[in-house]
Amino acid sequence: MTPPSRAKEKKRNIKPRDLRTTLFNIPKIDLHRHLEGSLRLSTLADIAHQHGVDLPSLSLEELRPYVQVVDDTPDFQGFLAKFTLLRRFYSSREAVERIAYEAVADAAADNVHYLELRISPVALALNQGFNFEDVVDWVILAVNRAQEYYNIQVRLIVLTNRHEPQYANQLAEIAVDRKDQGIVALDLAGDEVNFPALDNFIEPFQWAKKQGLHITVHAAEVGPPINAKAAVEQLGAERIGHGIRVREDIAVMDFINRQQIPLEICPTSNLQTGALPRLSQHPLFPFYKIGIPVTINTDDPSISNTTLTDEFLMATGGAGVPFRALCQMILYAAKAAFLPEPEKARLVDWFTKVLSKYTSGGLSG
């Protein structure tokens, strides 16, 4: 018997061996990608050599397990620990700009046409004693150069971590001050298991939203479903990062559906953090079938050794998402983009027209 996913591929005349090529060629959107999780391993080695970064090893292959998930047992804390070593690499302005430029270049090389890149000023600045404002400006400059050269549209999201509430007000002010320079939103990320409370973030997030920034929050990734509802109600979240555990609470899932809160799903990351035991149990397609606007993203492409094309392959293969639904999820991402309405309308219109070439009968714009 032909597996369901392959049956659908044959029905669309897409041979399995050609599926990767097709998914690569489709223009895509990544709404959930961390700059600090997008460093090329070759660049890490270069920076280590040039700036004398103290590392367990200078061998690329020996360094890999420290900064990339290789054969790790799925574990949320283990996944987050990769960022601890990565903080050592933002050793100069040149290093920060190179990392930001290459992150955009790598997205463009995977046929990503619209990217929202999250940056953690604390991660980029603290170890080296840089000013938060400076590192944000360096990233903005590098991203602007890259998006012009590679013909990709990029917007930035300033991220604050749950375990570092002392920086939340300052980061909100930095983001608001640069909202005309490509920064479109504020994000809360980090360890929602040991730091579930939102009290310290309510004031800066609500203030930032009143100043015109959008809000997205990592929630219900490995923490309880109610975290997603709290992020919407207390912080004003318009999108939820991950949110896969809302499937465990019908009331929360119904809330997310009724509010039409887009979920930024990252399949590979969800497996590597242990948020899900296996891909076949991923709620991506069940969410889609009940009407939740789900999107597919990379999270941390370098740490997870993935691309957005890989994530789409995982979704249509192991998670059982039909090809047409993948295209609709791209359209959901366009509609969820943190752009002014006229810009968003143009983005949605462009993707609707382009994606209709890959589907019979078009898609709902």
- Rg of the chain in Å (alpha carbons): 19
Comparing CA positions, the residue from 35, 52, 40, 45 lying closest to residue 128 is 52
Q: How far apart are CA 222 and CA 112, in angstroms?
A: 27
- Burial code (b: 16+ CB inside 10 Å, e: under 16) for 52-86 equals ebebeeeeeeebeebbbbeeeebebeebbebbebb
- Cβ atoms of 118 and 35 closer than 8 Å: yes
Out of 9, 36, 192, 221, which one is annotated catalytic?
Answer: 221
Specify the DSSP class assigned to residue 280.
G
Active-site residue 221, yes or no?
Answer: yes
Calculate the CA dihedral of residues 218, 219, 222, 226 and round it to 10 degrees: 170
Helix (H) or strand (E) holding 219: strand 214-219
- Cβ atoms of 37 and 303 closer than 8 Å: yes
Q: Which residues are known catalytic residues?
A: 221
